[in-house]
Amino acid sequence: MKKKLFGFCAAICFLLSMACPAFASAAILPFNEADIPFDTMVTDNADLLTDAQEEELSARAWALTREYNCAVYIVTLPSLEGMEAWEANEYLLETYKMGYGRDQSCAVLLLSMEYRDYDIMAHGYGNIAFTDYGKEKMAERFLDEFGDDDWYGGFTEYLDCCEEYLELAREGKPFDVGSDRSPVLGLAIGILIPLGIAFGVCSVFKAQMKTAKMQEAAQAYIDQDGLVLTGQQDRFTHTTRSERYIEPPKDSGGTTVSDSGSSHQSGKF
């Protein structure tokens, strides 16, 4: 299967190299840290983008790659040739030595049009910037556009996300579980809970200041015979049933990296 895909990709690369000498040199030349090949940023083999769009997205991806030393790729394929999306992504990474630097730092968004599969792959430093939760949220952002066949809109969302995540990672706070907590909710919790606790504690202290209270019961005066039960009946009446959807457990954060050194978020669009 891998041979098939390799053959397919090689054919595409050959065709591309004929049409675009720059891409060909990028694909065949070893990766050079000092010179990030511009035309490898967006590989639109499924032909979803116009030339202008491809140019614009490539420029943006290339700028991000230069800025953060982590390559940002977009790859579209007509078919996965029987592979899973994540397998195809790893195959391309390995085959074409994608990524920046020795650790091949990168983020790759791969779309396959045959069964509308996608895979986001992170490698090297990308595993730090693109956590599992980050990739999941990134997918949520572009899936609507891809679902509407708005390819350019979806890829723009992807690049926006990449820029946001890479910037956060550079600041030492990679986007992860809790990073997108609502500030309004935070303010509400951060203010209301302390106010509630303070009110509760102060109410206990205040209650100590007011001890003149009417008695509501007379437990202390029950005679020695106590309660004499004269009748008791427990009668079953009916049964009710209710169902509640169980929310999946929240991710505790971090990035799950496979043996190949990559991490993925896959699905359909």
Rounded least distance, CB 174 to other proteins, Å:
13
Rounded least distance, CB 183 to other proteins, Å:
7
Cα(104)–Cα(30) distance, rounded to whole angstroms?
Answer: 12
Contact 104, 90 (CB under 8 A): no
Phi-psi region of 99 (alpha: psi -120 to 50; beta: other; left: phi over 0): left
Secondary structure element (H or E) that encloses residue 104, with its range: none
Rounded least distance, CB 159 to other proteins, Å:
27
Rounded least distance, CB 90 to other proteins, Å:
31
Q: Please tell me whether residue 181 binds other proteins under the rule CB under 8 A.
A: yes
Give which of 75, 45, 111, 53 is closest to 269, Cα–Cα: 111
Helix (H, G, I), strand (E, B) or coil at 255: coil
Q: Please tell me whether residue 186 binds other proteins under the rule CB under 8 A.
A: yes
Which residue type is seen at 199?
A: F
Q: Which two tokens stand for residue 258?
A: 């496979």
Backbone φ, ψ for residue 11 (5° rounding): -65, -45
Q: Which of these segments, 69-77, 91-99, 125-133, 184-192, binds other proteins (CB under 8 A)?
A: 184-192
Nearer to other proteins, 18 or 222 (CB): 222
Contact 156, 57 (CB under 8 A): yes
Nearer to other proteins, 115 or 245 (CB): 245
Contact 109, 73 (CB under 8 A): yes
Helix (H, G, I), strand (E, B) or coil at 187: helix
Kindly report the three-state secondary structure assignment for every residue of 134-155. Answer: HHHHHHHHHHHHHHCCCHHHHH
Residues in the chain: 269
| Contacts to other proteins from residues 188-247, by CB under 8 A | 189-191, 193-195, 197-199, 201-202, 205-206, 208-223, 225-246
| C-alpha count within 13 angstroms, C-beta hemisphere, residue 257 | 16
Q: Please tell me whether residue 178 binds other proteins under the rule CB under 8 A.
A: yes
Rounded least distance, CB 216 to other proteins, Å:
6
Rounded least distance, CB 130 to other proteins, Å:
20
| Contacts to other proteins from residues 77-96, by CB under 8 A | none
Nearer to other proteins, 35 or 225 (CB): 225
Nearer to other proteins, 15 or 192 (CB): 192
Rounded least distance, CB 197 to other proteins, Å:
6
Contact 207, 199 (CB under 8 A): no
Nearer to other proteins, 33 or 225 (CB): 225
Nearer to other proteins, 115 or 221 (CB): 221
Nearer to other proteins, 22 or 202 (CB): 202
How many chain residues touch other proteins (CB under 8 A)? 56
* Binding residues vs other proteins (CB under 8 A): 178, 181, 183, 186-187, 189-191, 193-195, 197-199, 201-202, 205-206, 208-223, 225-246
